Amino acid sequence: MFWKQRIVVKGAGDLASGVAARLWRCGFPVVMTEIARPLTVRRAVSFSDAVYEGETRVEEITARRVDDRAAVPRVLGDHVIPVVVDPGATIVREMKPFGVVDAIMAKTNTGTCMKDAAFVVGLGPGFTAGKDVHSVVETKRGHTLGRVIWKGEAIPNTGIPGEVRGFAAERVIRAPGRGVFKGVRSIGEHVNKGDIVAYAGDVPVLAPISGMLRGLLHDGVFVEKGLKSGDVDPRDDKESCRTISDKALAIAGGVLEAILMFMHREGKEYHLNN
């Protein structure tokens, strides 16, 4: 529907992937950027895994690592989302896309500005709508999750994950030491508190609570002590680790709303074949 309105999504983690999936389903061609060694935890619902595996699938959508940027149009033509290793998102200057969504979730602006594209959206704290991006989408769980902010900033980062069945920070797995990460359990498995789920070098990484292992870093990543390396869902619902989360979909809905509102307000003729 909007095949000429290309959108670059910076980042390819779980929230960025939820945004990309919703835009893709609505007819926007999406190109994603990532770092060379993604630190994504919820890999089963993240297009960032294409960086490691070459190709990955989230629900019904396929993404593919593209090393030759000239091949991006061809990959889009194959109805596949291109993922480009491009930490500085230099492809934005090359492609001159209609829109840019900064979904890196760095909690700070790493270089995104309104001049990057006709419409630029920032997810969560670190951006100011009307100053460095056109709009901000709220990412904090609660009444305002997914709301579009046209002036000002999102709620500041608290550093505390959203509560699930009484567990917040306790459900996050963190590396107990530095070294190369190696998982010994798989995403989607039930684990009990104290089970070894991985190793950071020679140090065992333990499940902090009982539940379903919803996320785990990719093997081979070098971790520092304290790095978020996985998470456990106390609800123990295996299906939830294979489908885009409610949070990601809410944020994605905000991004889609912001883009369509901009197109409507601009009054430009964004027809089906524009």
- CB contact at 8 A, 247 and 141: yes
99 and 175, same domain (yes or no): no
48 and 151, same domain (yes or no): yes
| Residue 267, pLDDT above cutoff 80 | no
87 and 67, same domain (yes or no): yes
110 and 132, same domain (yes or no): yes
In a domain, 66, yes or no: yes
Which uninterrupted H or E stretch holds 261? Answer: helix 246-266
122 and 228, same domain (yes or no): no
In a domain, 49, yes or no: yes
| Residue 62, pLDDT above cutoff 90 | yes
Alpha carbon of 235 to those of 143, 212, 243: distances in Å?
22, 7, 15
93 and 147, same domain (yes or no): yes
Nearest to 14 by CA among 223, 172, 239, 247: 247
Nearest to 252 by CA among 262, 244, 242: 244
Residue 220 — left, alpha, or beta (φ > 0 → left; ψ -120 to 50 → alpha)?
A: left
In a domain, 1, yes or no: no
136 and 85, same domain (yes or no): yes
In a domain, 16, yes or no: yes
In a domain, 179, yes or no: yes
In this predicted model, what pLDDT tens digit does every residue of 72-129 receive, in sequence order?
999 999 999 999 999 999 999 999 999 999 999 999 999 999 999 999 999 999 999 9
Nearest to 134 by CA among 100, 178, 176, 181: 100
What range does the domain containing 79 cover? 7-157+245-266
The CATH code of the domain that includes 174 is 2.40.50.100
* Tokens representing residue 90 in the block: 């230099």
Which residues, 6 or more positions from 105, have their beta carbon under 8 angstroms from its beta carbon?
11, 13, 15, 16, 123, 124, 139
In this predicted model, what pLDDT tens digit does every residue of 51-61 receive, in sequence order?
999 999 999 99
Which uninterrupted H or E stretch holds 249? Answer: helix 246-266
In a domain, 164, yes or no: no
Band (pLDDT 50/70/90 cuts) for residue 273 is very low
29 and 142, same domain (yes or no): yes
In a domain, 2, yes or no: no
Beta carbons within 10 angstroms of residue 151's beta carbon: 10
By percentage, how much of the chain surpasses pLDDT 70?
Answer: 96
49 and 77, same domain (yes or no): yes
Beta carbons within 10 angstroms of residue 45's beta carbon: 26
In a domain, 120, yes or no: yes
The CATH code of the domain that includes 73 is 3.40.50
129 and 176, same domain (yes or no): no
121 and 198, same domain (yes or no): no
70 and 205, same domain (yes or no): no
Question: Which amino acid makes up residue 147?
Answer: R
> Model's pTM, two decimal places?
0.93
| Residue 271, pLDDT above cutoff 50 | no
Q: How many domains does the chain have?
A: 2
Band (pLDDT 50/70/90 cuts) for residue 268 is low
